[in-house]
Amino acid sequence: MGSFPIEPATRIKTLPPYLFAAIDRMKQEAIAKGVDIINLGIGDPDLPTPSPIIDSLAQAAKNPKHHQYPSYEGMLAFRAAVADWYKRRFNVMLNPMDEVLTLIGSKEGIGHVPLAFVDSGDVVLVPSPGYPVYSVGTSFAGGVSYIMPLTKANGFLPDLGAIPKEIAQKAKLMWLNSPNNPTSVVMTKEYFKHVVEFAREHRIIVCHDAAYSEIYYDGTRPPSFLEVDGAKDVGVEFHSLSKTYNMTGWRIGFAVGNKEILAGLGKVKSNLDSGVFEAVQVAGTTALGLDDSVTDGIRTIYQERRDTLVPGLKRLGLEVDPPAAAFYVWVTVPRGYTSTSFTAHLLEKAGIVTTPGNGFGAPGEGYIRMTLCTPKERLAEAVERIRSVGF
């Protein structure tokens, strides 16, 4: 009996390779050759999860009541902790009953929300360069991504005025991300006001990814989209404990804001996946109740790293602006290189893993992204290696 050819669905065949998986493969090949790799590729905090959070998990995991299926929307205690944190941090009032939804990391919600609201052929406004899941989730739902290019000329912000009228009228959903991955740009409340007006005029659902809001520098705290009047009428905000508390592997996040949008996402969630392990939610509740000294300490480390890498790159003659937030450094590639060729040059000649800007979308061509998820000594060594191999 011969096997028949297995034909993947069109949505899989047209999918680009997941960017970070491809980079990981390149890194593993270099390691296999014995290269001492400095990994500035993936934004995964190298710092440990704060010990009170770990202790909380360890205790909760021993309690048999947390060993059964968790609810889809999350424990009310965790959702209340989210609401308390939003009140403290942003002065935004949320009802934990229906304006907070627990997620298995924010990626789960970002990937699934188009399934709740986007029909075949519907337009979704997607910033580019940007997190690949915005456009992948759109295509899985049968939607069409309309790219909002983030260019230096426009301060790396989506130019809402450049969106053609007929596209705006067809658009069902818009993605925003501030602080931005990969450019690190922070949107102001003034910009968010324009977004609310635009969304209201064209009846567009706004989905704001705020995963990096607590990684900021020089004491300047990024605002929440929900701080702006009317934001809750048109949108939701996705957040995560991953970056704030060094909990990427724990898979816990949340979406907050418009209750009808959250209800739609909740319906998809209840049909396609499960809730977060309750012991992790107990630990997440502990995390959100920690005082600012914990996150201040984390920010201090990232600031030291930023202030090691950015001046070092500038001394080499590379064009780079210091990020105001997030742990990404967006570097213009030198003359004579493309994003991909400069990435390859740094890996092959200097043993440094970076991410080509065009991997985040065509408007990212001409840049590479470096992360600050490496000790400052290694960042200083990376600068020295680039100096020694040249470009």
Per-residue pLDDT tens digits for 12-33:
887 777 666 777 777 888 889 8
User: Could you read off the pLDDT of 161-205 as tens digits, one per residue?
Assistant: 999 999 999 999 999 999 999 999 999 999 999 999 999 999 999
β-strand pairing of 328-332 with 319-320: antiparallel
Average pLDDT over the chain, rounded to an integer: 95
User: Could you read off the pLDDT of 91-147 as tens digits, one per residue?
Assistant: 999 999 999 999 999 999 999 999 999 999 999 999 999 999 999 999 999 999 999
CATH 1.10.260.40 fits 51-291, yes or no: no
Q: pLDDT category, 219, cuts 50, 70, 90?
A: very high
Break the chain into its structural domains and give their ranges.
10-48+293-389, 51-291
Report the DSSP beta bridge partners of residue 125: 146, 174
At residue 180, the pLDDT reads 98
The whole model's pTM is what?
Answer: 0.95
At residue 37, the pLDDT reads 94
- Over range 239-261, report the average pLDDT: 97
Q: pLDDT category, 370, cuts 50, 70, 90?
A: very high
User: Could you read off the pLDDT of 334-368 as tens digits, one per residue?
Assistant: 999 999 899 989 998 999 999 999 999 999 999 99
Rounded to whole angstroms, how far apart are CA atoms 185 and 156? 7
Q: Which CATH class is domain 10-48+293-389?
A: alpha beta
What is the Rg, in whole angstroms, of the alpha carbon atoms belonging to the chain? 21
The answer to whether residue 81 scores a pLDDT higher than 80 is yes
Q: What is the dihedral of CA 227, 232, 236, 239, to 10 degrees?
A: 30
- Over range 81-91, report the average pLDDT: 98
Q: Please indicate whether the domains covering 10-48+293-389 and 51-291 agree at the CATH topology level.
A: no
The answer to whether residue 11 scores a pLDDT higher than 90 is no
